[in-house]
Amino acid sequence: MTNQRDDSDGLHADATRSLREWEPAERSQETLKHAFLTLLDARPDACLRACEPGHLTASAVLLDAAAERVLLTLHPRVGKWLQVGGHCEPEDSSLAGAALREATEESGMDGLTVDPMPVHVEVHPITCSLGVPTRHFDVRYVVRAPAGAEPVRSAESLDLRWWPLDGLPPESGLDSMVTAARARLDHS
């Protein structure tokens, strides 16, 4: 391939290692895991937004200190409540680090901590900053806020709000992601 940055020494290698080591609890997640690994095997630029066929993104199931609420953002382009997260950046050396960076930027909260193992994956079609239809191969991580932390909305969000784990917005489609995060907490 020409004109594509080979990311195999950093983020790409971390993404491959993390996904190979991750053991999803659900069969559907195991199937998706293999699709992510196939993309990573085929494309050295799979972690870069310039990878037009699709690229990995990193997001956070951002829980409060008591693990009773999840922070969701009202996404301006999608128009629904989603977890915080986004594209990997050239300075990111790990997917977990990218998820933590995105969570910190979008929540305005300091002192967040991230579980280094993925908790959930999803693929969705989108027209992102490339301006052409592509797919986001989203890798999700559990991120925890310190006690008393309160979010501050950034320009990347129409609204930012804590939601009870058993009271997610009905249109969000985030139930399986939150269920996976709860299971992770129960086993840690």
pLDDT tens, position by position, 32-82 = 999 999 999 999 999 998 998 899 999 999 999 999 999 999 988 778 999
Comparing 132 with 112, the larger pLDDT belongs to: 112
Check whether domain 11-186 has CATH 3.90.79.10, yes or no: yes
* pLDDT value, residue 125: 86
* pLDDT value, residue 139: 98
Q: What is the C-alpha R_g of the chain?
A: 16
Tell which residue, 102, 107, 111, has the closest CA to residue 56. Answer: 102
Residue with tokens 């907490």: 185
* pLDDT value, residue 146: 98
* pLDDT value, residue 130: 64
Question: What residues contact 33, with CB distance under 8 A and at least 6 apart?
Answer: 19, 22, 24, 121
Comparing 96 with 3, the larger pLDDT belongs to: 96
Average pLDDT over residues 143-171: 93
Tell which residue, 133, 13, 12, 112, has the closest CA to residue 64. Answer: 112
Q: What is the pTM of this model?
A: 0.92
Is residue 7 over pLDDT 50?
no
* pLDDT value, residue 56: 97
* pLDDT value, residue 129: 67
Question: Rounded mean pLDDT of the chain?
Answer: 91
% of the chain exceeding 90 in pLDDT: 77
Spell out the domain ranges in the chain: 11-186
Comparing 137 with 53, the larger pLDDT belongs to: 137
